[in-house]
Structure 1
Amino acid sequence: MSAVLLPTLPPLIAALAVLVLRRGSPALALSGAMLSLAGSLWLLARVAGGQGDTLLLPGLPEMPLRLVAGPLTALLAVVVATVGTFVLIYAVGYMKRESGQARFYAVMSLFLAAMQALVLAGDWVLLLAAWEVIGLCSYLLIGFWFQRPEAANAAGRAFLYTRSADLGLYVAAFMLIGSAGSSEIGASLEAGDSASTAAGLLLLLAAMGKSAQVPLQDWLMRAMAGPTPVSALLHSATLVAAGAILLIRTAPLLTPEALFAVGLVGGITTVAAGVIALAERDLKRLLAASTASQYGLMLIAVGAGVPLAALLHLLAHAAIKSTLFLAAGDLQHAREGTGFDQLKGVGRARPWAFAGFALAALALAGIPPLSGFFSKDAVIAAALSAQGAVWLGSLALAGTLLTGAYMARALRVLWQGSGDTRPVAGTGWMRAGVWGLAIPAAGLGLAFGPLETMLDLPAPETAGIGVILSGLVAALVGLALGWLVPAKRLLGPVHQWAASGLVVAGGLTAWIAQPVMAVARECERLEGLFYQATLRIGRGSLTVAKFVRLGDERSIDGLIFALVASVRAMGARARTLQSGLIHRSLAISAGAIAAILPILLLASLSF
């Protein structure tokens, strides 16, 4: 078996086993994730020297499906498997008292398998198929508690927003396949032509939907209605990461015009989502807004022409954000909620969870020597060395300052105050999940040097002392402001608008979601009317059939049965004449001749 299959097959088999066996779901899902991690590490070790590995699978005519393992794709497979493994370890404790575990672990395993297929996909057809499956899995996981109206609404909104943006990926893929004459991603990236700008903008649209970039960021905050392990996986290494991964992999295709659009979208999002996070009063929604802001930083790096800087921040962010979400889930269980009013002082009662949260928060803010310090320096250096350094650099520094501010605000709420907490079931599993990711969140930056050497991507400019100091000052100022100054005072008149999600004229809810839902309700009503009309016709047909059956039984059948009875009676009478006596037969014959003969004589005389 090819080594390229090892990251994808184990979680896929685990998903099928969970659905078939319906028992031992946590063990099966965790085994699949751990085997995927082992296979990913082995695959990365094989291709680290630069020699790729490709597996061809049956596909469309003259368009085979490809799984391609190079340094970049194998590294992404390791990230997906690592986060997935520790999230599932955490989920064993978090979901201990929840029903529907077989459904949860089956979809989580399928989610991991689909994401591994996406990062390893070497052709557009397989990438589109994996893209579809992760969209389906995200819908099922966000709406896991479908009996809750907010969860069902959040799942529908996420589906609507992301699926609308996915049209960009479809059109771009078809354009690139037609231009290159091949579905292979590498070949389509090399065959750049006049369609590259249009294809790049369409790919940006798809990435904006998946990575929750302005103005498509609203669904991500509402997706917090799902279980915390789902939030940790979606926000760090799977669904939301898919948009940034798409742009990083297709960066060679992007023209200067497309790069400008990517940087602009990322810059606006990192500031807008950071302001929204600063105004939030719910911990999970704050982290969700933070996710959109951090992916905005990655898009700034891609727009600056340095996808490696975006990749480094993606790696650091995967470990950091999953740690933050998992720690937040423990604190949520301790106080039965994620609102700031409920979580005041919970960090004192749950010190190990707060310590993991604080470590990841400082890493996200960019405090040395934690991983976020190195990745943000790479992003800022890329922004300041780009053609639009003035506005790209300013937006990157503003995003860094806002990151420090909203993370300091969250830390202050969790630490200051007091209150009762309740025992949390499955603490051991949850602690293992949190700290399994907190350690790379702290120390991953030390591996960035070897990773830059291994990856075949344009390296970012070496961060000079000025870049390092500017990023560090922005982070420290943000932390100080977030800790010392209330959000209302810090944001001033913008606070109320930010608390509503920076909605303009009703936002996409008024312009897209509500009209689409109105059309859907009207279609449902028409469908109901159609079914009702069909049922009425059906009932009428059954009534007519009953009358026909009664007429058939009482009229036609009666006449037929009467005729049959008459014929049988006549036959019975005629049978009595056949006695077998010769003298009787002769007498009957003579009588018949005597009766017929006069008739014949009369007939002959008349002629």
Structure 2
Amino acid sequence: MNLIAIAILAPLSMMVLILLLRRLPAALALLGAAVGLLASIGLLSNAFNGMSSELILPGLPDMPLRLVATPLTALLSTLVAVVSSLVLVYAAGYMKQDNEKIRFFATMLLFVSAMQTLVLAGDWILLLAAWELIGLSSYLLIGFWYRRPGVRSAATRAFLTTRSADLGLYIAVFILIAHAGSSDIAVTLNTGGNTAVVAGLLLLVAAMGKSAQTPLHDWLQRAMAGPTPVSALLHSATLVAAGAILLIRTAPMLPAETLLVAAIIGGITTVVTGMIALGERDLKRLLAASTSSQYGLMLVAVGAGVPLAALLHLIAHAAIKSSLFLGAGVFQHSRESTMLTELKGAGRDRPLVFSGFALAALALAGIPPLSGFFSKDAIIAAALSSPNAWLLASFALAGTLLTGAYMARALRILWRGDRQHRNIAGLGWMGAGLAGLVTLAVILGAAFPSIETLLHTALSENTLARILGLGAALSGLTLGWFIAGRRLLGPLLPWAQQGFAIAGGFDTWMVRPALAMARSCEQLERGLYNTVLAVGRSGLAMGRTIRRSDDQGIDGLIFSLVRGTVALGQRARTLQSGLIHREMAITVVGTALILVTLLVTLLVY
């Protein structure tokens, strides 16, 4: 069987098996993830050997569905498979005492299969189908604990926000297919001119929704209502990564105008959400805001014209951020909370977990020789080499500084405090998954030259970028460790804790108008209903009146005439007796009546 099919069908088939057997969900999930991982590694190995794979399926007329394993898509497939496999290892312990394990692991496998389809899709129609599936499965995962207060609203907000932005993707795809006459992604990337500008901006809107870019960043922090493995998977290499992946894959088509807009949006996001993370009071929400900030840096790299830098940071960030979320899940089990005030000293409860969390935090800040240092260096170098270097480099350095500050703040809170030891069920599985991802976060930087070779693209060396990036990272770590976030943000702290909402933010600008429109539609519907109902009632009354007039008037008259005619006929029949003397008498009487009538007529005239 084709390796592409195995990478997608292995987790999907195990999902079906879990739902049918209703037992051993963790084991079956790990088996499906492992088989899918081996298939993805096989695709990547073939790509390094110069081999590309393709699987063509029936689709629309002259537009077949394509799954392709190019060097880029094979690399992304392997990234998704590795991260999801290790997260599922962690989840085997995390969900050990949960009664809904079957539903959890089945939905996770559906999500993994949909994400594999998305990154391997070679045509827009299949990509749209996979895009829809990851939206649905993410809604189910975020709302997994739907009985808890606020969970359903968080899942609904995430779903509606991303679905609204998805309209940009749909319109862009229609434009590209209509212009190119083909749904093949590789063919449509040759689009240029005004069509590319419009389609590029629409793709950017879709990417902003999925990657939680300002002003659409609020949903991601609310999505922390889901289980920690869900947060780790969605925020690292899958759901939120889909927006950045979309722009990385379509970067060859994007004109300079679109790239500049993408870079500015990414730069604003990395600063705004970085300050939100610095002022956060919940560890998982801090990491969620950090996710938006890091994807903002990726958009800066794409906007600077170096999508490879964004890709390297996406790879590094996938391992780093999933490690941070999994570490946060252990601390959450240890203290039964994710509030930073409750997590003081939680790192002392589990020194090994804290060590892994600290390594991932330093990698995210950009400290050598960890993977984040090399990817941050690539982004800063890309920003410095762009035509708008002063603006993009400022955004990249500010984002790096803020990353160091909020990660140092989290480390300080987790370490400074009293130790409280508590047994955690399934800690062995959780530790194994966390250890694997932390290892990747540490060593992945060494694989970046091989990735450049695989993609036949090289990053330029920039000593100034390394110096500036390292200086910003160390400055941020120093400020975050020694100065409280309240003092760092100053008067911006309340605003940051409210998500930098302007005049009420998303609720005022989106939710309330939508609800007002819904209420207006309801009132209109009720008004129309009452009007139609009144007209209907009048029509029924008129019909009843006409029916009564028919029954008692016209019908009565007709029936009376009929009855009179019948009675007259019956009387007339008595005259036909057959007796000659009676017939003669009738004749005489009749003749007499005729003569009388004639005489009267003559006398009158």
TM-score interval w.r.t. the shorter chain? 0.7 to 0.9
**CA shift in 2, pair 1:26/1:532, >3 Å:** farther
**CA shift in 2, pair 1:447/1:280, >3 Å:** same
**CA shift in 2, pair 1:98/1:260, >3 Å:** same
Which amino acid is the alignment partner of residue 507 of structure 1?
A: G
Which residue in 1 is equivalent to 2:274?
A: 274
> Shift of the alpha carbon at 1:23?
1.6
Q: Is 2:47–2:454's contact at 8 Å kept on the other side of the alignment?
A: no
Which amino acid is the alignment partner of residue 391 of structure 1?
A: L
Q: Is 1:157–1:513's contact at 8 Å kept on the other side of the alignment?
A: no
Secondary structure of the residue aligned to 1:157 is helix
Which amino acid is the alignment partner of residue 225 of structure 1?
A: A
Which residue in 2 is equivalent to 1:46?
A: 46
Secondary structure of the residue aligned to 1:149 is coil
Secondary structure of the residue aligned to 1:446 is helix
Which residue in 2 is equivalent to 1:596?
A: none
Secondary structure of the residue aligned to 1:341 is coil
Which residue in 1 is equivalent to 2:138?
A: 138
**CA shift in 2, pair 1:349/1:219, >3 Å:** same
Q: Is 2:409–2:480's contact at 8 Å kept on the other side of the alignment?
A: yes
Which residue in 2 is equivalent to 1:344?
A: 344
Which residue in 1 is equivalent to 2:498?
A: 500
> Shift of the alpha carbon at 1:519?
4.0
> Where do 1:405-416 residues align within 5 Å?
405-416=405-416
Which residue in 2 is equivalent to 1:545?
A: none
Which residue in 1 is equivalent to 2:485?
A: 487
Which residue in 2 is equivalent to 1:107?
A: 107
Q: Is 1:371–1:445's contact at 8 Å kept on the other side of the alignment?
A: yes
> Where do 1:354-373 residues align within 5 Å?
354-373=354-373
Which residue in 2 is equivalent to 1:11?
A: 11
Which residue in 2 is equivalent to 1:330?
A: 330
Q: Is 1:335–1:421's contact at 8 Å kept on the other side of the alignment?
A: no
**CA shift in 2, pair 1:605/1:508, >3 Å:** same
Which residue in 2 is equivalent to 1:27?
A: 27
> Shift of the alpha carbon at 1:605?
5.2
Separation in 1, partners of 2:129, 2:577: 100
Which residue in 2 is equivalent to 1:253?
A: 253
Separation in 1, partners of 2:298, 2:98: 36
Superposition RMSD on alpha carbons, in Å? 2.3
Which amino acid is the alignment partner of residue 509 of structure 2?
A: W
Secondary structure of the residue aligned to 1:54 is strand
Mind listing any 5+ residue stretches in structure 2 that lack a counterpart? 533-574, 584-605
Secondary structure of the residue aligned to 1:342 is coil
> Shift of the alpha carbon at 1:100?
1.7
Separation in 2, partners of 1:262, 1:442: 29
Which residue in 1 is equivalent to 2:236?
A: 236
Q: Is 1:49–1:454's contact at 8 Å kept on the other side of the alignment?
A: no
Separation in 2, partners of 1:514, 1:481: 39
TM-score by length of 2: 0.87
Secondary structure of the residue aligned to 2:494 is helix
**CA shift in 2, pair 1:140/1:350, >3 Å:** same
Which amino acid is the alignment partner of residue 606 of structure 1?
A: R
**CA shift in 2, pair 1:10/1:472, >3 Å:** same
> Where do 1:140-539 residues align within 5 Å?
140-457=140-457, 459-464=458-463, 466-520=464-518
Separation in 2, partners of 1:604, 1:103: 106
> Shift of the alpha carbon at 1:526?
8.5
Secondary structure of the residue aligned to 1:195 is helix
Separation in 2, partners of 1:428, 1:240: 28
Secondary structure of the residue aligned to 2:56 is strand
Separation in 1, partners of 2:122, 2:519: 40
**CA shift in 2, pair 1:600/1:283, >3 Å:** closer
Q: Is 1:217–1:292's contact at 8 Å kept on the other side of the alignment?
A: yes
Separation in 2, partners of 1:408, 1:157: 31
Larger deviation, residues 522-531 vs 315-324? 522-531
Mind listing any 5+ residue stretches in structure 1 that lack a counterpart? 535-598
> Shift of the alpha carbon at 1:529?
11
Which amino acid is the alignment partner of residue 504 of structure 1?
A: I
Which amino acid is the alignment partner of residue 120 of structure 2?
A: L
Which amino acid is the alignment partner of residue 16 of structure 2?
A: L
Larger deviation, residues 522-531 vs 305-314? 522-531
Separation in 1, partners of 2:524, 2:27: 46
Larger deviation, residues 421-430 vs 314-323? 421-430
Separation in 2, partners of 1:526, 1:409: 53
Separation in 2, partners of 1:225, 1:342: 18
Q: Size of the alignment, in residue pairs?
A: 545
- The C-alpha deviation readout for 1:231-276, integer Å capped at 9, x for no partner, is 0000001100000000000000100000100100111111111010
- The C-alpha deviation readout for 1:317-369, integer Å capped at 9, x for no partner, is 00000000001001000100000111000110111211111110010001110
Which residue in 1 is equivalent to 2:582?
A: 606
> Shift of the alpha carbon at 1:422?
2.5
Q: Is 2:213–2:292's contact at 8 Å kept on the other side of the alignment?
A: yes
- The C-alpha deviation readout for 1:77-111, integer Å capped at 9, x for no partner, is 00000110011111111111112221111111000
- The C-alpha deviation readout for 1:531-553, integer Å capped at 9, x for no partner, is 9999xxxxxxxxxxxxxxxxxxx
Separation in 1, partners of 2:14, 2:193: 43
State the identity as a percent: 62
- The C-alpha deviation readout for 1:394-447, integer Å capped at 9, x for no partner, is 110110010000000000000001143421110011001101111000000000
**CA shift in 2, pair 1:453/1:152, >3 Å:** same
Separation in 1, partners of 2:232, 2:473: 24
Which residue in 2 is equivalent to 1:76?
A: 76
Secondary structure of the residue aligned to 1:216 is coil
Which residue in 2 is equivalent to 1:542?
A: none
**CA shift in 2, pair 1:497/1:60, >3 Å:** same
**CA shift in 2, pair 1:442/1:533, >3 Å:** farther
Which amino acid is the alignment partner of residue 512 of structure 1?
A: M
- The C-alpha deviation readout for 1:490-546, integer Å capped at 9, x for no partner, is 111111111111111111221102222444566678899999999xxxxxxxxxxxx
Q: Is 1:40–1:77's contact at 8 Å kept on the other side of the alignment?
A: yes
Separation in 2, partners of 1:531, 1:324: 55
Larger deviation, residues 146-155 vs 402-411? 146-155
Which amino acid is the alignment partner of residue 200 of structure 1?
A: G
Q: Is 2:297–2:379's contact at 8 Å kept on the other side of the alignment?
A: yes
> Shift of the alpha carbon at 1:456?
3.7
Separation in 2, partners of 1:523, 1:339: 41
**CA shift in 2, pair 1:20/1:270, >3 Å:** same
Which residue in 2 is equivalent to 1:546?
A: none
